[in-house]
Amino acid sequence: MVRVTTLALPAPPASRVDRSGEPLIRAAGVWKIFGRHADRIIGTSDAELPRAELRAKTGCVAAVRDVSFDVWPGEVFVVMGLSGSGKSTLVRTLIRLIEPSAGQVDIAGKDVTAASQAELRELRRHTSSMVFQHFGLLAHRRVIDNVAFGLEIQGVSKAERLARAEKVLQLVGLEDSANSFPDQLSGGMQQRVGLARAFAVDPKVMLYDEPFSALDPLIRRDMQDEVIRLQHETGKTMVFITHDLPEALRLGDRIAIMRDGAIVQLGTPEELVGSPADEYVENFVRDIPRSHVLTIRWIMRDARPGEEDGPRLDVRTNVRKAIPVIAESERPVCAVEDGRVVGVVDRETVLTAIAGESA
C-alpha cells in the first residue's frame, strides 16, 4: 500500500507548526469495513483486494483502509478526496461516531479506540468538536441556543452558557442574529452558527466534515478566510475534510489525498503540486497554477560562479510573488536559505515554470 510519501528532494520547508513535540492526534492503521463479519477480513489477503472485488466477493465495503497519520498541535490537516473515497468515514472514526474496524486513534494522549462510553463522551464534550456539511442545527432553537447547545450538554448553567455563546457569536460576526432561528439565516450564516457551536466548547481539536461544500463559491471563499482567521486567532488544531483541491491548498499545512479508502499521498501543498506521487494525484493537481503554490526552491537552478551577488529572496518565497523582483532585476535572483545562497532564479527558469502550467 502507499504510505506517507516523503519526497527525497528537496527537504520540506520550515513550517509555522512545531513538530518537535508529541502529535495531538495519532491515527495508526485505521480500518473501517462496512458489512457482515467485516472484522474477519482485516489481516487476510482479501483486505488487499480492490474495493469492487472485495464487495463482489464478500459483500463488504472497505471505506477506510489502513490509514495512519499524525497531526501536531496548531496544525491544519486536510484530508482530500473524491466522494466515496472514505474521507468522511475517516474523520468520524477519529471520535468514533463510526466505530473503526481496526487500528488505534489517540487524541491528546488518550487512546480513543479503547475509551469507555463515558470517557468517549468526555472527549467529545471537552477535547474535540465537529462542524458538519449540512450544519445539523436545531430548527426549534434560537441561534444563541444552538451555539450554547454543546455547553448545555455539558451541564453548564444557563446564564454562563448564554454569556459564552454570545462571545463566540461575536467572534463569527453573528451577534445581531442571536435571537433569530436557523431557517431565517442564509446557508453561509447557518454554517457560521455551526462554527460558533463548535468553538463555544473551546475544544483542542476541530473536525470539519466538508463544511463549505453546500455553499456558493463566493461565500465558500469568505468562510475559508473565516476559518484561516479563527485558526490564526485561536491556534486550534484542525482536521479538515474537503473534496475541493483549491480549498485544501489554501487551508492545509499538510494534505492527505485519499482514494478508495487509502491515503495515496501525504505532504505539504508544494509537495503535492511539485511532485505528485502518482497519476491520480497528478490529475488532481494538473489544473492548479503551479506558480501559486510552488516556492522558488522548486524552480531554482544551481548558481553559476559570479551570480551569487544578485538580489536576494528567501527560498520559501512563492513563485508568483517572486516574479516582479525577477522581472525588474537584470541579473538572476539568488534564493537564500539561512543566509546562504542555495540557488538562483532567472527569467528563463520562471518562464519555463509558467509555461509548464499551460502545457
Q: Residue 121, interface with other proteins (CB under 8 A)?
A: yes
Q: How far is the CB of 102 from other proteins (least distance, A)?
A: 22
Q: Applying CB under 8 A, does 184 fall inside the site for other proteins?
A: yes
Q: Could you please report the per-residue DSSP string of 284-331?
A: HHTTS-HHHH-BGGGT-BPPPTT-TTS-EEETT-BHHHHHHHHHH-SS
**Interaction of residue 72 with other proteins, rule CB under 8 A:** no
Residues 288-317 that bind other proteins (CB under 8 A): none
Q: Which is nearer to other proteins, 122 or 282 (CB)?
A: 122
* Residue 14 touches other proteins, criterion: CB under 8 A: no
CA angle 126, 70, 33 (to 5 degrees): 85
154 binds other proteins (CB under 8 A): yes
317 near 333, Cβ under 8 Å?
A: no
Q: Least separation, in Å, of the C-beta of 191 and other proteins?
A: 12
CB nearer to other proteins: pick between 9 and 139: 139
Beta strands in the chain (DSSP E): 25-34, 61-71, 76-81, 102-107, 110-111, 128-131, 205-209, 237-242, 254-259, 262-267, 312-314, 333-337, 340-345
The residue among 224, 346, 239, 237 whose CA lies nearest residue 296 is 346
Under the criterion CB under 8 A, does residue 56 sit at the interface with other proteins? no
Residue 52 amino acid letter? A
Q: Which positions from 203 through 222 interact with other proteins, judged by CB under 8 A?
A: 207
| 121 vs 286 by CB, closer to other proteins | 121
* Cα gap 280→5, rounded to integer Å: 14
Binding part of the chain for other proteins, among 119-127, 219-227, 297-305, 332-340 by CB under 8 A, reads 119-127
CB nearer to other proteins: pick between 54 and 273 = 54
Subset of 124-143 contacting other proteins (CB under 8 A): 124-126, 128-130, 132-141
As a whole number of angstroms, the distance between CA 307 and CA 305 comes to: 6
Per rule CB under 8 A, is residue 259 in the interface with other proteins?
A: no
> For other proteins, which stretch binds (CB under 8 A), given 14-22, 66-74, 177-185, 308-316?
177-185
* For other proteins, the closer CB: 203 or 332: 203
CA angle centred on 37, ends 36 and 40, rounded to 5°: 150
* Residue 95 vs 272, nearer CB to other proteins: 95
Residue with Cβ nearer other proteins (129 or 291):
129
- Sites for other proteins among residues 84-103 (CB under 8 A): 95, 97
Shortest Cβ 153–other proteins spacing (Å): 5
C-beta atoms surrounding 201 within 10 Å: 23
Q: Which of 156, 189, 201, 281 lies at the binding interface for other proteins (CB under 8 A)? A: 201
By the rule CB under 8 A, 83 interacts with other proteins: no
Q: b/e per residue, 203-226, with b = 16+ CB within 10 A?
A: bbbbbbbbbbebbeeebbeebbeb
Q: Tell me which residue of 216, 280, 224 sits closest to 85, measured CA to CA.
A: 280
Q: Which three cell numbers stand for residue 123?
A: 472527549
* Beta strand pairing call for 102-107 and 254-259: unpaired
Contacts with other proteins, residue ranges (CB under 8 A): 95, 97, 121-126, 128-130, 132-141, 149-150, 152-154, 179-181, 183-184, 197, 201, 207
